[in-house]
């Protein structure tokens, strides 16, 4: 089983109690109905910025009105982070709201980093209605083109 398969298996609903010393990271995000959202990229780096193993992620609260997916990716790290200008492998965590859902969704996960540090992530996602112009544009672009 590869790393991203193991991660997706962990996304299936493994529950873990929050540790007392964990740092809680809360992010407020929004996405339009019918669109997907990358909620986070969790890097696989050691403290010295060299490549490391993927962190262990245990989802405490799955989305009730959508799906959570993850996959391996490579992203540059922002210059204001611990390892600036490094391109690192990571787990990209994405949320896909159900087609007719609008409202607020909360997802929570414990992330055990390779250095032993554990963080609690809480993503609060607001799914907004699709804009009328976006609906019309997607309907127009979805029509087959006729040849002259």
| Full-model pTM | 0.70
Q: Mind listing the domains of the chain with CATH numbers?
A: 3-142 (2.60.40)
Q: CA 93 to CA 70: how far, in whole Å?
A: 4
pLDDT in tens, 7-47: 444 454 433 444 446 789 999 999 999 999 999 888 888 88
Enter the DSSP assignment of 7. H
pLDDT in tens, 112-146: 887 788 999 999 999 999 876 555 444 444 444 44
State the Cα torsion 2-3-8-12 to the nearest 10°.
Answer: 100
Q: CA 86 to CA 134: how far, in whole Å?
A: 36
């Amino acid at each position: 089983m590869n790393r991203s398969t193991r991660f997706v298996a962990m996304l299936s609903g493994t529950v873990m109690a929050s540790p007392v010393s964990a740092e809680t990271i809360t992010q407020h995000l929004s996405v339009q109905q019918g669109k997907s959202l990358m909620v986070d990229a969790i890097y696989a780096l050691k403290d010295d910025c060299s490549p490391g193993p993927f962190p262990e992620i245990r989802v405490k609260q799955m989305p009730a009105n959508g799906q959570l997916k993850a996959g391996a990716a490579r992203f540059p790290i922002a210059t204001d982070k611990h390892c600036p200008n490094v391109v690192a492998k990571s787990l990209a965590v994405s949320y896909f709201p159900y087609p007719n859902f609008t409202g607020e969704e909360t997802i929570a996960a414990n992330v055990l980093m390779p250095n032993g540090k554990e963080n609690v992530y809480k993503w609060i996602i607001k799914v907004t209605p699709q804009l009328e112009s976006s609906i019309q544009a997607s309907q127009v672009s979805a029509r087959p083109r006729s040849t002259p």
